[in-house]
Chain A
Amino acid sequence: MTEQNPDIAALHRTLLDLLDTLTARQEAATDPATIQALGQQMHEVAVRLTRAQQALFAQQTAAIGAAIDEVNQAKADVDKAVAQIEQINKVVEAITGFLGLVDKALGIAKLV
């Protein structure tokens, strides 16, 4: 798991708690004007929740940078392993090709 900034994570949770509280008050209200006013307050909290979420996500994103570097290094190692196997195939192919040339030369030598 990544390290999260506890302050922003705590702020995010506090804003959610506040929304829960406002919801409970809105549900308990009987007067339409109060219900409306509480709804507007919830919007004010929501925009701050969005900002907290954005800051939290930016930190979480920054935390995976080193891990991705390691994955990219691993990809390079895999490419190296593939190249080694390809090299085996190339050597066998080269020997076959070389023997083919030798055989041709021998064939010509027989004709002379």
Chain B
Amino acid sequence: MPVRQSIARIATLLAVLWLAACATPGPIVTANVGAIRTGLTLTQQQAATAFATTNATARDLDIARTLANPAQNLREADFPLAFAPDDIAKWSNAFAALDSYLGAIQGLVDPARAQATADRIDGLAAQLREGPARLAVPAEASGLFATFAGALVQARAERSATAIMRRVDPAFSAVMGGLADAIGADDSSGLRGTARGYWLVKLGDLRAAYSQLPPTSPGRRAAILAFIAAMDARDAQLQNLAQLRASVLALGAAHTAAAQGSGGDALFWIGRIGNWLDEAKRRADAAAAPAPGDQP
């Protein structure tokens, strides 16, 4: 009987320790890093699309300017891009580094790793119990010990992950802040300012084309519809860029919250990122649909 009581006490102690191990801020990391990583991938895609679209517009404007120029020669300097390919590649590498870091954190806190420890300890207990030595290792206690060891490994992994996330958080925020700056704080700075400037020129071209039409021209209605469609497309693009910036800053906030063990805050920011990116995709799809007045 005393042996049974001892086993019961040990089992109770292990259960308490297991619960204590589970009560670390670690599960917040496990729950949120995957979502931050997904948000990062979506943000990278949106940023890459924004860079590519702006470069395509810059090229269109370069071509229109050159065509209007009477000079019969071409110079490379007349066809600048808003975003140099080298710089775009550096951002792509930066996102790859962030993704790789988050992927490693995900791997570190992967519950499968802790389960593997538990399984191995269970195997060791079985070896002791069932081998020729026939050691008296009660199956219930060894099972509980294996679970406890797994939980300890998980807790240690999550504590390590949290410590590393806290240390790297300023760098993570700096990259997100850098991208937010590149996008622009308002429609008169950064990419947002450039995009708005390009739309001013495009609308100017449409205005100039309209001014050439005689008052009786049947083409006036189509020209007006094209002007309105351009205004709508401009508004949609500028709104997308504003939300992309908000998403980028939210990713930084989500990382900070997860690193500080504030799961609720991290989930709040991740939820907002998801909503913004869904909204941006909906507007992009709407912009890709035929505009009023377009030929079917």
Contact = CB atoms under 8 A, between A and B. Distances in A.
A binds B: yes
Contact of B97 (A27, A43, A71, A107): A71
A67 B175 contact: yes
> How would you classify the secondary structure of chain B's contact residues: helix, strand, loop or mixed?
helix
Interface stretch (B118-126, B217-225, B234-242, B266-274): B118-126
Interface of A: 1-2, 4, 9, 12-13, 15-17, 19-20, 22-23, 26-27, 32, 35-36, 38-40, 42-47, 49-51, 53-54, 56-58, 60-61, 63-64, 66-68, 70-75, 77-79, 81-82, 85-86, 88-89, 92-93, 95-96, 99-100, 102-103, 106-107, 110
A74 B83 CA distance: 29
Interface string B63-86: 011001000000000101111100
Contact of A26 (B84, B131, B175, B204): B204
Given A2-B177, A88-B117, A72 B161 contact: no
A23 B204 contact: yes
Contacts of B82: 50, 53-54, 57
A96 B194 contact: no
Interface residues of B, number: 75
Given A47-B61, A68-B97, A78-B164, A96 B104 contact: no
B167 interface: yes
B132 A57 contact: no
